[in-house]
Structure 1
Amino acid sequence: MSSFLVVLALAGSLAVSLIITVPCSGALVRLRANYNPRGLQLDDEGNVEPHTGPVVTTFIGMLKRVKRIEGWPGLYKGLMPTLLEALAITFFVVTALAANPKFPMKTAPSSVGIFGTLAYLVFAILLSLPAAVITYRAITTPYRLPYFRPMYSLRILLTPTERRRPWILYLTPGLFLSQFLHSAYNLILLRGLKRLLIPKFSSSDDGFEYSPLKLGIYFMIVILNTAILCPLEVISTKLAIQRNHAAAEYNSVEQEVEEDGVTPEEYVEYSGAEEDVIGLRHEKDPYLGLVDCAKRVAQEEGWKALYRVWWLTLLAGIGSAFA
């Protein structure tokens, strides 16, 4: 009976969490993925034309835009891959608890040393990278994805090359590196500083024991580190939605000749709107890596584009002090 209550509680908390987080994460991904160049663009014939894509600069503004153009279904794009990932994690936790009631709910991979931590990071990213790619693409695609037709959705989200050779997702220029650097920075540097400056809270007769000075120093470090972590998050988002192609006459990530064989329905056809929620960079002009992406975003969209929704990165860092 107790196991049933645990499963019921986990299911309830998961449902509430998805209802709240999926629209928010969708707005975050769209805002960071939106391509909004400042300068003039060239059309197919080489003529100069102004960029006419959407200009959205705020988190709330993106939420409102999604609701106006795609409605409630648009707000919950990316629900199924997020749900499947959450269910896999929940299943693992429940199984581990059933096998061993003393299973630790919180793990500390950094406690096994730096090489063990790096190995843990590589393994974790190998598992999470395809899920992140599919989720980000499901959120940013202009096409409607059925909830219960996964193969149809994958034919829309993945190129023929990616479906034939799924491992090519790991070769998306700069994506693995950007995710690795972000995770390593958080897990090794920030966690190490946290253990040094903020000892584990322990209850005593006088309440919680901590040093206000060390806590203040840690918060200042978190604020400064936002300048590093936020651009990595933006770059990871832009690289994850960059599809891989393998036509011989093109670059490996440029437009592929082979057709996908599906005719998906766009949200604009469903809602009657005449515009997409966000603008996407043309696949014939891809980013060639992490550094190239950072440079071209700064040159084409301005350096502020690398700090979209920076305050969320800051809040996550501050919240880590009490995790």
Structure 2
Amino acid sequence: MLSFGDGLLFTVLLALSFTIIVPFTGVLVRFRAQYNPRGLQLDEEGTAQPHTGPVIRSYFAMMKRVYQIEGLEGLYKGLMPTLISTLFVTGIILAFMDTPSPSHGKYHAPNTSLLGTLIYTIIMMLISLPTSIITFRSITTPFRLPYLNPAKSLRAILTPTERRKPWILYLTPGLLASEVLHIIIVVLGLSPIRRLLVPEFDTKSYKDISLFKLGIFIVAVILTTAVLAPLEVISIRLAIQRNHASAEYNSVSQEVEGDADENAEFSGNNEDVIALRNESDPYLGLVDCAKRMVDEEGIFSLYRAWWITLFGGLTSVLGY
């Protein structure tokens, strides 16, 4: 159990990290969710229509747009679900999976076999998946969500079907496949390579590091980034795609009534920060999402903010 001092330090560090991380994460989610079709789109009658939404082509252009339209409040969209998710997962770790005496709230995955690590990571993903979906949707919704009224917020971002059957979030087409594939590549691919090539980082014996092996590991990180970055973009696209169950539409299409809370307020200036793909023509799975993104927006749409994925892979060598 954490002491008072450890708990206080954990709270301060958590607040500080949220102050810094939440805005950057929110911009990242919006940038990867942004729909930038490169050609004319067909309407319901088959007539070509030009894209009328915003076109954002860089991470920092998205950050500027968020601040200009929604201000500081917009940069902190998703704060409450992120906080709740973090506290929930941390509570589970401390209650069921942590060591008897954690150090200042810092937790490391169990040091076990590759299969054990894989199972553990997938379980943690399954626990946090619903809150991740809610967080992504809270960030990308055009509505201003109240911080202290979760019921009203959930009515705005979840469909009636999802509110009646919360488990349907796990059935979001392609999402679980994308998340599990990401985990497999990291746990069974990148992590063993790191332990093989630069195990010195685990013991902090930096003087024993081979620059040649470190170089090979960096190349491996770059190669895996080529696969992981698209999976991260696709996961966001699939997570914000809401599940419906109207008889006249398929299971993920737009429902006729009751999707949004009529009392929710639109964000500043009545102008949406980002453009999202029409829900009436949803992605049908992982492969379908990748194919449609390439066809409609170009292959580079799969590599938005790839450098963040690369940076995460490189810092993994330090055990973070």
TM-score higher than 0.5? yes
Q: Which residue of 1 aligns with 2:126?
A: 126
In the alignment, structure 2 segments of 5+ residues that lack a partner are none
Rate the CA distance shift 1:251–1:89 in 2: closer, same or farther, 3 A: closer
Contact map agreement 1:125 1:176 (CA 8 A) in 2: no
How far does residue 53 in structure 1 lie from its aligned partner after superposition? 1.1
Q: Equivalences for 1:1-323 in 2 at 5 Å?
A: 3-92=3-92, 100-101=100-101, 105-108=107-110, 111-114=112-115, 116-201=116-201, 202=203, 208-260=207-259, 262-268=261-267, 271=268, 273-323=269-319
How far does residue 266 in structure 1 lie from its aligned partner after superposition? 3.7
Q: Which amino acid aligns with 2:304?
A: R
Contact map agreement 1:175 1:290 (CA 8 A) in 2: yes
Counterparts of 2:40 and 2:305 in 1: how far apart (Å)? 25
CA RMSD of aligned residues (A): 2.1
Counterparts of 1:309 and 1:203 in 2: how far apart (Å)? 30
How far does residue 108 in structure 1 lie from its aligned partner after superposition? 3.7
Counterparts of 2:291 and 2:314 in 1: how far apart (Å)? 28
Counterparts of 2:186 and 2:7 in 1: how far apart (Å)? 31
Counterparts of 1:142 and 1:306 in 2: how far apart (Å)? 23
Rate the CA distance shift 1:93–1:35 in 2: closer, same or farther, 3 A: same
How far does residue 153 in structure 1 lie from its aligned partner after superposition? 0.6
Show CA shifts across 1:191-246 (max 9, x none): 11011101133466xx6311111111000110111110000000000000000001
Rate the CA distance shift 1:208–1:66 in 2: closer, same or farther, 3 A: same
How far does residue 319 in structure 1 lie from its aligned partner after superposition? 0.5
Rate the CA distance shift 1:239–1:4 in 2: closer, same or farther, 3 A: same
How far does residue 86 in structure 1 lie from its aligned partner after superposition? 1.7
Contact map agreement 1:245 1:254 (CA 8 A) in 2: yes
How far does residue 167 in structure 1 lie from its aligned partner after superposition? 0.8
Q: Which amino acid aligns with 2:108?
A: K
Show CA shifts across 1:239-267 (max 9, x none): 00000001112110001124247214343
Contact map agreement 2:179 2:235 (CA 8 A) in 1: yes
Counterparts of 1:72 and 1:42 in 2: how far apart (Å)? 36
Q: Which amino acid aligns with 1:216?
A: G
Aligned pair count?
A: 315
How far does residue 97 in structure 1 lie from its aligned partner after superposition? 11
Between the aligned residues of both structures, percent identity stands at 54
Contact map agreement 1:143 1:264 (CA 8 A) in 2: no
Rate the CA distance shift 1:313–1:261 in 2: closer, same or farther, 3 A: closer
TM-score by length of 1: 0.91
TM-score by length of 2: 0.92
Q: Secondary structure at the match of 1:208?
A: helix
Counterparts of 1:295 and 1:274 in 2: how far apart (Å)? 32
